[in-house]
Amino acid sequence: MRSAGKGETVLSVAKRHGIDIPALCHHESVQPYGACRLCLVEAFWGKRSKLVTSCIYTPWADERIETNSDRVRRARRIVLELLLARSPDAEGIRDLAREYGVIEPRFRSRRVEANIERCILCGLCVRVCAEVVGQHAIGYASRGPDRVISTPFGAQADECIGCGACVFVCPVDALHYQDIDGQRIMTELNTRMPLVGCHVCGRLFATEKQIAKVRERLNLTDELARTCPRCRGSEFRGTLERCLISKNVSSNTEGVGQLLVQRTTPHDKE
């Protein structure tokens, strides 16, 4: 028997106790949103039960929660079929779907047929940009099946600092950035910004706005903010690498945006 603290969600209790609940649109650095519905669990009052979304659900005192009942697994299977239909190439979704016995979805997505990007509209990128980076550079545009993540009017946003936090947090690799010919290019967001050279070695490593943001947020000297991760002292480099936001960027210590994200997580604020 595990119990929840005051205001604690089912997902957070489960995580605390090492109980696995798949949760695609959840990240501890941002407010929960309840978009993907993959984290469904079954809440019981006596013999009655209903499915609830564990990342936003705070249990009542006399409730019992089942995280892997038949009903839960059936519901997650359908959610995974829908996600897979929408984002068939996303490795994370394919792996999860396989775990739940879903190989090919029964549904077809108009978005895939129309070759619209693989985004599952989980909103993580939007929340990270707003809540962690503090920039509000991206949001939702259009409605219904045409809904997409976009900059205002699809043009490069003044608010964007090119930090790439949205790219790192995306669970299905729907957003990308590349540093080419002295420019940071974020194709899906129609964004292109010149890169600035490291104060020590001259290597291009961050955008001007990104450096300014990090300097202000972390109260760094201009010199340190303009020094690339490779040239920073070992003590500082250790801090940088300690808790990168994304699942698979631990070898990438280039992004000052990662540093920004890492240093402003709720955990670090405690």
Per CB under 6 A, residues contacting ligand FES are: 23-26, 34-39, 53, 55
Backbone angles phi, psi at 190, to 5 degrees: 50, 45
**Closest approach of Cβ 9 to ligand FES, in Å?**
9
| Smaller CB separation from ligand FES, 35 or 119 | 35
**Closest approach of Cβ 152 to ligand FES, in Å?**
26
| Smaller CB separation from ligand FES, 120 or 228 | 120
| Smaller CB separation from ligand SF4, 119 or 211 | 119
Token readout for 185 is 């290019």
**Closest approach of Cβ 95 to ligand SF4, in Å?**
16
24 binds, among ligand SF4, ligand FES, none (CB under 5 to 8 A by kind): ligand FES
**Closest approach of Cβ 41 to ligand FES, in Å?**
10
| Smaller CB separation from ligand FES, 40 or 186 | 40
65 binds, among ligand SF4, ligand FES, none (CB under 5 to 8 A by kind): none
Q: What are the CA-CA distances from residue 89 to residues 28, 93, 95, 159, 172 (Å)?
A: 25, 8, 11, 30, 8
Rounded to the nearest angstrom, the gap between the alpha carbon of residue 261 and the centroid of all alpha carbons in its chain is 11
**Closest approach of Cβ 224 to ligand SF4, in Å?**
30
Residue 211 is which amino acid? Answer: I
97 binds, among ligand SF4, ligand FES, none (CB under 5 to 8 A by kind): none
| Smaller CB separation from ligand SF4, 45 or 140 | 140
Binding site residues, ligand SF4, CB under 6 A: 119-125, 149, 169-170, 172, 174-175
